[in-house]
Amino acid sequence: MRNPFKYFKTSPEIIRLAVMMYIRFPLSLRNVEDLLHERGIDITHETVRFWWNRFGPLFAQSIRKQRVQSGSYSYWAWHLDEVFVRINGELHYLWRAVDHEGEVLEAYVTKRRDRKAALKFLRKAMKRYGRPEAIVTDKLPSYRAAMREIGNKDCQETGRWLNNRAENSHQPLRRREKIMGKFRSMGSLQKFAAIQSSIHNQFNLERHFYRREEFKESRTQALLEWRQLAA
């Protein structure tokens, strides 16, 4: 594999740190610039923008590949939900699939939320992860129509509060949207949502399930894995 950092004077460790800070936390480009300056790293916010555009997709792809190969994703139950995002004054929809452990499987942006959009979203997710045993959704008719065409309508489950896991998965993007002053295009939203989902999975440790010692060990392991991306 060709070294992606070959022609960069900055060390890979600094690039990974800048990308992680910008994607993982609700920080602006200038916030990241100031935080790195406190650590003795003198760069501009435009450099941070270039790094996350250049290396963000590469890091996200590496994370997805590792987790798919290791079988970290669950095929038992998926939670699907869609949230509206306003781009240049027009409503668009971000579809998201989350497994029962909170791992984000797929994020997909469309202009509509009809049967055709739901069908394309489901096929994209199943092509990568296979068919789940159960799919939890809200009562949007597009889901039932799409799953009827796929042939797994009997797997659908709907009910009050059943889909809270998928609805809560939108919160990091909402915080980011506020910091960024909304997205400018479908492409930028799709790109950021896909990268953010993978990095969220990398550091999604569900600390409330573990003792403090176990959480600290898992957090250290997640950081070590992050520092080896594209090494």
Mean of per-residue pLDDT scores for the chain: 90
Q: How far apart are CA 158 and CA 81, in angstroms?
A: 11
Instruction: Please give the Cα distance from 125 to 136 (Å, whole number).
Output: 14
In this structure, the answer to whether residues 112 and 63 fall within a common structural domain is: no
154 & 167 share domain = yes
Average pLDDT of 144-161? 89
Tell me the CATH number at 90.
Answer: 3.30.420.10
Domain shared by 82 and 189, yes or no:
yes
pLDDT beyond 90 at 230: no
- Among 24, 52, 72, residue at a domain's last position: 72
pLDDT tens-digit map of 101-135? 888 999 999 999 999 999 999 999 998 888 888 99
- Asked whether the beta carbons of 225 and 62 are under 8 A apart, the reply is no
CA distance 191 to 211: 35
Instruction: Answer yes or no: do 63 and 82 share one domain.
Output: no
Query: Could you list the residue range(s) of the whole structural domain that residue 145 is in?
Result: 77-203
Residue 39 lies in a domain: yes
pLDDT bin (cut points 50, 70, 90) of residue 72 is low
Q: Do 85 and 195 lie in a common domain?
A: yes
84 and 133, same domain (yes or no): yes
pLDDT-derived band of residue 210, with 50, 70 and 90 as boundaries? confident
Pick the closest to residue 96 from 65, 115, 77, 118 (CA basis): 118
Residue 224 is assigned to a structural domain of this protein:
no
pLDDT value of residue 141: 93
* The 77-87 sheet, strands edge to edge: 104-110, 90-99, 77-87, 134-137, 156-158
Phi, psi for residue 168 in degrees, rounded to 5: -70, -25
Look up the pTM and report it: 0.86
Q: Looking at the structure, do residues 187 and 124 belong to the same domain, yes or no?
A: yes
Q: Are residues 22 and 108 in the same domain?
A: no
Cα–Cα distance, 98 to 204 (Å, whole number)? 12
- Tell me how many degrees the CA angle 179-180-184 measures, rounded to the nearest 5: 155
Q: Do the domain assignments include residue 146?
A: yes
Which of 72, 89, 106 delimits the end of a domain? Answer: 72
Tally of domains within the chain = 2
Residue 67: name the closest of 59, 77, 56, 55 by CA: 59
